[in-house]
Structure formats: C-alpha cells, structure tokens
C-alpha cells in the first residue's frame, strides 16, 4: 500500500534566522561565514546571495568578489541548534502518533499514512495525498507564527518524491506530487535530482548521454553497466518508486579517516597530501552510501599525545572532496594547529543526511502556500 509522506525543509535556515533576528537584513544578500578580507569560508547564504553564485564551503574572498554588496555575519551555531530544537518540537507536536524522521537540523520526514489513509490504486492514493495538504499548510503556518521562519513542504507517496516536492517551489512552497503524475513530473529533471546521484554518478550518466530523468526512463540498456549493483534502484527512482521506510534513528552518525605518521611532521606538503587523500576517501564513502555531510572535523595529535579537534558546520550538505579539503585546510590554518609537528592527523564528517537534489525547474505547476 502506498504511503502519505510529507517532507519539511526550512528555507535558507541559518541565513533566515539571522534575517529574522535582525529585521534590517530582510531582503539583503546575507552570507554567514568569515569576512571577505579573511581566509574564511561560507557557512550559509540567503536566497538573495545565492543569486550571485554564493554557496556553502566557498572561500569568503570568492564570495565577496561574486557578491560585493553581501552582508557577512559570523555563524552562531548554538543559536541555530536552539532554533532547530524548537522547530522539531513543533513537528513532533503536529505529528503526534506518527513516525517522524529528522534528517538534519532543518528538515524532517513525516509519515501521515495512518491519518490520511493509503491505497492500492492511483485514485485512492491521490485522495489520501490530498487529505494531507491541509496538514502541511497547518504545519507551515505554525512554524511561521511561532518561529517567524518559512518552510517548504513536499507531499507524495514516498520519500524520494516528497523531498523533490519540498525543493521544487522554494521558498515558502507547498508542492503535491500526485501518484498519477509522478513519471511526467520527473521526466524533465536533471539526473542529479534523484536520491543518491552525486557529482561522480552524474558525470558517469552524462558520459553515457543520460542527462535527464526522462533519459533514464527511456534507456533500454542495463544501468548496472554504468552504476554497478545500484542500477535497478536507480531505475526505480527514475519512475518515482521508492520503498525506503522512515527511520527514527541514524544508522550512520559519522565517517572518519586518520593517519599516524612514522615521524612527527609539520611539513605542509606532507600534511596537504594527507588531507587530500582523506578528503577523497571520505567523499568516496559518502557517495557509496548516498549521503552528504553538514559538519567537518579536523583532529590533530602532537608528540606528547595532546589531542585537539576543531569542527565547522555548513548549511548546504557537502559531498565533494575538494570542498572537504578546502575546509580542512582552513580549519588547520584558522587555529594554527600546525604550530608544532603532528603525530596524527584525522578528518571526519558528521551531520549526515541523504544527498540533496539540485534546484528543480522546467514547467511543473508550483503550489504556493496560502498559510501566510
């Protein structure tokens, strides 16, 4: 029996918190991170700043060149975590008695099948999905009235489609993807929109001439020749089929890699090579598990066994080795962790969630919420 799944995703969460707390910033390109005069990096960007190409993990100096009028603010991670707890409290209250899967500080899945019903036929499923629309609008309205922040919601018969729906009409959108229309909805989207398709897989598919989900739907060959054993799952996703259950607990909380040197070293060439290798290893594991990370941590140990860790969180999930490497180098330099030779150097990622779809486009009707 098909399910009724809602996916709630806060809009430009970190930057929106800053704009709410400081109303004079409303409508301005807010960039959360280091100043453009420093060697800092971008933690998050408002929609106004994203129009200039500013994104998470970008060097602050580059962001400053792309968006000279940007308002740079230092991140307040404790503030964002407190806000996340308040929002998830609202979600829990709205979803009393149903399964909730929180997948990051600013997004969650809710399974309303028990409340709205399900069905075996498309007609029954679509009727159940329609009954979830008022629940989605009420949830958005409560988040706005109690927290002063907007959220986007997707409603569909499974996690894959619900997440695509929440991304589709941002910001402040509510998108219902009927079961009868799911295949056509997916056709014009880029392959990167599908769960689990990161930069590496996208490149492989593009190399085979498969650029849109419609290309995958029409492909008559065996996708295992391109993406290995994941091929059958990728084909199911291309047709909007996804039987993954909601999970109220995180199976994988973090991924890490460490290296203990034969001799303590402060050689920058050696340390950079180590970080490049570790970044590539972590990125490979993220791709294999179809995950992305919000937090990167660097760990160092000196000759006297003193051990220090430093971490940094971003709003847009990380999947690529180059971004992990850039952040790792910045953390080492920011806190002068190589002021003396290192016995051990480690890199880790946490705040794991499913790989995130790129911005969706191409002629599908967007349903804006009337809750405000």
Q: Is 67 in the same domain as 100?
A: no
Q: Write down the pLDDT at residue 249.
A: 57
Q: Is 104 in the same domain as 176?
A: yes
DSSP three-state, residue 346:
strand
Q: Write down the pLDDT at residue 74.
A: 93
- Confidence grade of residue 372 (pLDDT, cut at 50, 70, 90): low
Cα end-to-end distance, the chain, whole Å: 34
User: Where is the domain boundary, 146, 166, 183?
Assistant: 183
Q: Which of 145, 143, 181 is nearest to 164 (CA)?
A: 181
Tally of domains within the chain: 4
Judge whether 311 lies within some domain. Answer: yes
- Confidence grade of residue 356 (pLDDT, cut at 50, 70, 90): low
What percentage of residues in the chain have a pLDDT greater than 70? Answer: 94
Q: Is 34 in the same domain as 122?
A: no
Q: Is 90 in the same domain as 151?
A: yes
Q: Which of 132, 137, 134 is nearest to 152 (CA)?
A: 137
Res 138 pLDDT > 50: yes
Q: Write down the pLDDT at residue 364.
A: 43
pLDDT tens sequence across 8-52: 999 999 999 999 999 999 999 999 998 998 878 999 999 999 999
pLDDT tens sequence across 213-224: 999 999 999 999
CB atoms within 10 A of CB 247: 13
Res 149 pLDDT > 50: yes
Res 370 pLDDT > 60: no
Handedness of CA 268, 272, 273, 274 (dihedral sign): positive
Where does residue 93 rank: exposed (0-12), middle (13-18), buried (19+ CB within 10 A)?
exposed
Which residues are marked as active site? 107
CATH number, domain containing residue 296: 3.30.1490.100
pLDDT tens sequence across 267-294: 999 999 999 999 999 998 888 888 889 8
Q: Is 161 in the same domain as 117?
A: yes
Q: Write down the pLDDT at residue 104.
A: 86
Domain interval for residue 24: 14-77
197 versus 48: which is more confidently predicted? 48
Q: What angle do CA 127, 130, 131 make, to 5 degrees?
A: 90
Q: Is 260 in the same domain as 312?
A: yes
Res 255 pLDDT > 60: yes
In the DSSP assignment, the letter for residue 372 is: -
Q: Is 119 in the same domain as 135?
A: yes
| Phi, psi for residue 57 in degrees, rounded to 5 | 75, 0
Q: Write down the pLDDT at residue 252.
A: 65
Res 329 pLDDT > 80: yes
Q: Which of 74, 42, 75 is nearest to 58 (CA)?
A: 42
């Amino acid at each position: 029996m098909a399910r009724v799944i809602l996916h709630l995703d806060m809009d430009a969460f970190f930057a929106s918190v800053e704009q709410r707390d400081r109303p004079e910033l409303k409508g301005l390109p807010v960039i959360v991170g280091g100043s453009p005069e420093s060697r800092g990096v971008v933690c998050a960007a408002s929609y106004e700043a994203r129009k200039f190409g500013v994104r998470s993990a970008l060097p602050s100096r580059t962001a400053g060149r792309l968006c000279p009028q940007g308002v740079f603010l230092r991140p307040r991670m404790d503030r964002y975590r407190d806000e996340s707890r308040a929002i998830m409290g609202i979600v829990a209250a709205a979803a009393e008695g149903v399964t909730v899967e929180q997948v990051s500080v600013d997004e969650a899945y809710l399974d309303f099948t028990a409340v709205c019903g399900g069905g075996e036929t498309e007609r029954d499923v679509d009727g159940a999905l329609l009954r979830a629309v008022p629940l989605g609008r009420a949830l958005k309205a409560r988040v706005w009235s109690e927290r002063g922040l907007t959220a986007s919601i997707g409603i569909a018969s499974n996690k894959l489609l619900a997440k695509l729906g929440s991304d589709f009409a941002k910001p402040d959108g509510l998108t219902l993807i009927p079961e009868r229309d799911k295949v056509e909805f997916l056709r014009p989207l880029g392959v990167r929109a599908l769960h689990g398709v990161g930069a590496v897989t996208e490149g492989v598919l593009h190399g085979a001439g498969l650029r849109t989900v419609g290309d995958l739907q029409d492909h008559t060959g065996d996708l295992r020749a391109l993406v290995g054993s994941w091929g059958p799952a990728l084909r199911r996703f291309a047709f909007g089929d996804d039987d993954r259950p909601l999970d109220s607990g995180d199976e994988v909380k973090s991924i890490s890699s460490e290296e203990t040197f034969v001799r303590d070293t402060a050689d920058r060439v050696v340390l950079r090579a180590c970080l490049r290798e570790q970044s590539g290893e972590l990125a490979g594991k993220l791709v294999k598990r179809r995950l992305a990370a919000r937090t990167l941590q660097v760990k160092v140990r000196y000759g006297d066994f003193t051990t220090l860790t430093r971490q940094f969180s971003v709003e847009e999930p990380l999947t690529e080795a180059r971004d992990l490497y850039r952040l790792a180098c910045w953390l080492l330099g920011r806190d002068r962790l190589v002021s003396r030779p290192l016995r051990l150097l480690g890199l880790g990622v946490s705040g794991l969630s499913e790989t995130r779809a790129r911005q969706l486009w191409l002629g599908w009707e967007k349903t804006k919420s009337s809750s405000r």
